[in-house]
Amino acid sequence: MPEPVEVLLADGFLRRQGDRTRTTARWQGAMARAALALQRAEAPWTDLRLPIAAALLERHPEVSDGELAGLVEAILPIEEAELAAAWGGAPAGR
């Protein structure tokens, strides 16, 4: 598998904006579907990695545990920065 960020860019989950990497509407939709599925299943989650992993598995159900971990690690800080910006924190981007 190529580098995780390259996979996420190719999937349309991430985009480059100048020197920053941002999430896309496609990614935000995948996260919303994952969060809704977890809520409906009454999953007791408080860790952002769980809906991220669920959203990634929707697109890549065949990935190994190691590949999934790499994808989660790649997008987690980008998603955290996007959420912080949306909630009035620091500007998004890494």
pLDDT tens column, 2-20: 899 999 999 999 999 999 9
How far is 59 from 81, CA to CA, in rounded Å?
A: 22
Q: pTM value? A: 0.87
With the CA atoms of 70, 8, 43 and 89 taken in that order, what torsion angle do they form, in degrees rounded to the nearest 10? 100
pLDDT of residue 24: 97
Mean local confidence (pLDDT), 72-78:
97
